[in-house]
Amino acid sequence: MNHSFITIEGNIGAGKTTLSHLLSKHYNTRLILEEFADNPFLPKFYENPGQYAFPLELFFMAERFKQLKELLQQKDMFQQITISDYLFTKCLLFAKVNLPDDEFRLYQRLFDIIHQQLIKPDILVYLHAPVKKLQANIKKRNRSYEQNIPDEYLFNIQETYTNYIKQQNITTIFVDASNADFLGNPQHLQVITEALERDYEDGQHYVTLP
Ligand SMILES: Nc1ncnc2c1ncn2[C@@H]1O[C@H](COP(=O)(O)OP(=O)(O)OP(=O)(O)O)[C@@H](O)[C@H]1O
């Protein structure tokens, strides 16, 4: 496997964290996981998005920057591969959906300054699942503040991610995760590891699960 920094992305409830854990175990890598539970604005945001979107987005950006900067600076001689379950640009994509235009422009100025200081992943695995499946996953894991997320919000996030992936040139493995069961079906994990072990040109590469 020729990649040293792999990022797993996807909509809310797509299964990023599960796949990241399994890949990290498979390749014995360092693992960077999103620490969303520490964001005190998240439950408030779901109650009242208009009032809490800006502090929520700022908090996420500050925490993610700190986490990525610290971890990527450490040189670990025995675990050279790193897997993360989020892309720093996720901050900007969510902010685009959640902030009014003037606040988003301010946020983007900060983001651009901060982003330059971070290492970018050399491959992105994007898990794409239909909104119905995402809602079922969100229901199953049962975090109380996520139980009333409107379909429209998930559609907007999905569209923002897919537009971003089309525009940028990080090599992306785009996985149809409609029926994904990485924990229960070892073949699904194998499809991802085989995909990661191939060499790619820049751009998007599509993978379906058996
Ligand atoms: N920048 C952001 N703005 C608003 N909400 C965010 C942002 N980043 C994360 N969240 C919220 O934090 C929670 C966790 O998000 P995330 O998508 O990272 O994890 P997840 O849904 O548990 O992932 P998965 O199920 O794919 O492992 C979700 O409620 C998500 O909407």
The Å distance, Cα 71 to ligand 1 centre, comes to 20
Query: What are 140-167's pLDDT values in tens digits?
Result: 999 999 999 999 999 999 999 999 998 9
| Whether the Cβ atoms of residue 169 and residue 48 lie closer than 8 Å to each other | no
Query: What separation in Å is there between the alpha carbon of 74 and the centre of ligand 1?
Result: 26
Where is pLDDT greater, at 191 or 4? Answer: 191
Total length of the chain: 210
Domain coordinates in residue numbering, the chain: 5-208
Q: What CA–CA distance (Å, rounded) separates 72 from 122?
A: 13
Q: Which residues are catalytic?
A: 85
In this model, does residue 75 exceed pLDDT 80? Answer: no
Sign of the dihedral defined by the CA atoms of residues 201, 85, 88, 78, in that order:
negative
**Pocket mutation for ligand 1, best pick of 8, 12, 138 (most atoms within 8 Å of C-beta):** 12
39: three-class secondary structure by DSSP: coil
- Residue of the nearest CA to atom 25 in ligand 1? 13
Ligand 1 center to 78 CA (angstroms): 30
**Contact call for residues 52 and 2 (beta carbons, < 8 A):** no
Question: Does residue 180 carry a pLDDT above 80?
Answer: yes
Ligand 1, pocket residues at CB < 6 Å: 10, 12-17, 34, 36, 42, 56-57, 60, 86, 91, 94, 98, 146
Query: pLDDT for 17-35, tens place per residue?
Result: 999 999 999 999 999 999 8
Show Cβ contacts of residue 14 under 8 Å, excluding neighbours closer than 6 positions: 127, 128, 129, 134, 137, 177
CB atoms within 10 A of CB 88: 22
Q: Yes or no: is domain 5-208 CATH 3.40.50.300? A: yes
Whole-angstrom distance, CA of residue 11 vs CA of residue 127? 8
pLDDT digit string, tens, across residues 165-174? 989 878 999 9
